[in-house]
Structure 1
Amino acid sequence: MNDSLDTRKLEREVKNIYRDVAETPTEEFHFETGRELAERLGYQPAELDRVPTDATASFAGVGYHFDLADVQEGDDVLDLGSGSGTDAFVAALYAGETGSVIGLDMTDEQLEKARALRDEAGMSTVSFERGYVEELPFEDGSFDVVISNGVINLSPNKRRVFEEAGRVLTGDGRLVLSDVISERQLPESIKTDADLWAACIGGAEQIDRYTATIEDAGFELQEVRNNDQYEFTSDQATNACQKYGVKSASLVARVR
């Protein structure tokens, strides 16, 4: 955990950015949003056609991992940092009527939008709850699959996130995520800047440390792949990508 980072400021900055992603997704951010991004990352048009249009408009993920997740009919799925609900809705297509999906988010505007879209679409197996990825409000062994997309890099305590994911997973459960990582360790000047964290840059962990943290939390890593189709859009973000190898990767890990 980064003790020199102003975590209260970070939370405010993250909520402000993702409030705007929910309410005005066509604004310019450090990152892309929308259906065009989702399709380029690997989401299938047939999947997205069955997801509320306003959810995909606010899509701000960094990769596609549903092929790795292999969500089956009847699975119970948790989406960490569910935003306006794109991934939760896609997961529900695979989990079917006998499965369930819970999206967890800390931003009220995202939750309000996701719940309204869920109700409009009549997707009764999907629910959205307010909470923090470091303190999951669920019982041990509640889920078969935990997914997350572009969120864990925003947490100043990644080890805690992975430990909590392991706790709420069943004995043979799997963690599947896409996230922003780096090839080289970022300098303190970036890692202590709440604005750069909120922009999905400052919290990018060096990939070897990131995967080691997952394994230390009780997981066996099964596959890691780069998402070459993901790009940041602002000059500030692009410079960090070039200098420190900040990029997107997807992975799957199973509970040991």
Structure 2
Amino acid sequence: MSKQYTDEEIRQQVTNFYDNIAVGKTSTEVNSIDLYKSLGYDPKLLEKIPEEVSSGLSCGNPLDNLVLKDTDTLLDLGCGMGLDVFMARITYPNSNTIYGMDRLESMIQKASKVRDKKGFKNIEFVQGELIDMPFEDNSIDKIISNCVINLEPNKQKVYQEIHRILKPNGMFIISDITLKKQLNDDILSLDNIYGS
């Protein structure tokens, strides 16, 4: 029988795994650029992205369906080191503020350092939880998420938060993974199953 983890234990496993990536203790062992190209990212834009944010953590390309007007604010949920934030800013240099939110201080620090070093403007990185986002009601025009919501056990609360902070007629673009069937007990009994 598989071990039953609490929501907090799952969150801690996820935190440990991604924190180790942010500080360079582990990696995804994939060629990040090849992965991004296979997901439909524009190769010419990828050349403009700072190498230090290329971690291979994406499972899709939410930017493929994104259009930003100059007045639009954008929020990237679980932004990690900021890949999609930087790609959006390069694509839409005149849009309103682009926010990247991540639960990990290490990811926010790394993304902020790259932003400052490379001189990206009108980008803010904030630490926050998917189930308690640090944004006012009806404050964001568009939200993207790339392979993040699957990591949060309380998905209903995530979607409630998205609904709360999106402006009327706002847009949410998600790229994520789901299970077609329950994982077997051999897989579920692995240590750190939620953080790998």
Would the TM-score normalized by the shorter structure come out above 0.5? yes
How far 1:74 sits from its partner (Å)? 3.0
Where does residue 208 of structure 1 map in the other structure? none
Aligned to 1:195: 192
Where does structure 2 lack aligned partners over 5 or more consecutive residues? Answer: none
Contact conserved, 1:82 with 1:88, CA < 8 A, in 2? yes
Tell me by how many angstroms 1:47 deviates.
1.7
Q: Deviations over 1:68-104 (max 9, x none)?
A: 2223333200111000000111122234234111111
Give yes or no for contact 1:10–1:194 (8 Å, CA) kept in 2.
no
Match status 1:137 vs 2:142: no
Matched, 1:9 2:6: no
Residue 125 (structure 2) aligns with: 128
Write the mapping of 1:158-197 to structure 2, written as runs, cut at 5 A.
158-186=155-183, 195-197=192-194
In proportion to residue count, which structure has more strand? 1
TM-score by length of 2: 0.88
Cα-to-partner distance string for 1:179-200 (whole Å, 9 max, x where unaligned): 111222446786687722222x
Q: Is the 8 A contact 2:50 2:114 kept in 1?
A: yes
Give unpaired runs (5+ residues) of structure 1: 200-256
Return the match for 2:148 from 139, 147, 151: 151
Residues 1:18 and 2:15 aligned together? no
Q: 1:43 to 1:133 in 2, by over 3 A?
A: same
| Whole-angstrom CA distance in 1 between matches of 2:191 and 2:5 | 7
Matched residues in 2 for 1:182 and 1:120: separation? 39
The one-character-per-residue Cα deviations of 1:127-157 (angstroms, maximum 9, x if unpaired) are 1111101101101111111101111000010
Percent sequence identity over aligned pairs: 31
**Counterpart contact for 2:16–2:195, Cα < 8 Å:** no
Q: Does the 8 Å contact 2:148/2:176 carry over to 1?
A: yes
The residue number in structure 1 matching 2:43 is 45
With over 3 angstroms needed to count, the CA separation of the structure-2 counterparts of 1:21 and 1:158, relative to structure 1, is same
The corresponding residue for 1:54 is: 52
Quote the offset at 1:34 in angstroms.
Answer: 2.0
Higher relative contact order (CA 8 A, sep 6+): 2
- Are residues 1:89 and 2:86 paired? yes
Shift of 1:12: 2.1
How is 1:62-77 mapped onto 2 (pairs within 5 angstroms)?
62-77=59-74
Structure 1 pair 44–189 and aligned structure 2 pair: CA distance change class (3 A): same
2: distance between equivalents of 1:33 and 1:7? 32
Tell me how far apart the structure 2 counterparts of residues 182 and 72 of structure 1 sit (CA, whole Å): 35
Decide whether the 8 Å contact of 2:41 with 2:64 is kept in 1.
Answer: no
TM-score where L is the length of structure 1: 0.68
Whether the aligned pair in 2 keeps the contact of 1:99 and 1:125 (CA below 8 Å) is yes
Amino acid across the alignment from 1:47 = L
| Backbone CA RMSD of aligned residues | 2.2
Take 2:172 and 2:179, find their aligned partners in 1: how far apart are those partners?
20
Structure 2 residue aligned with 1:244 = none
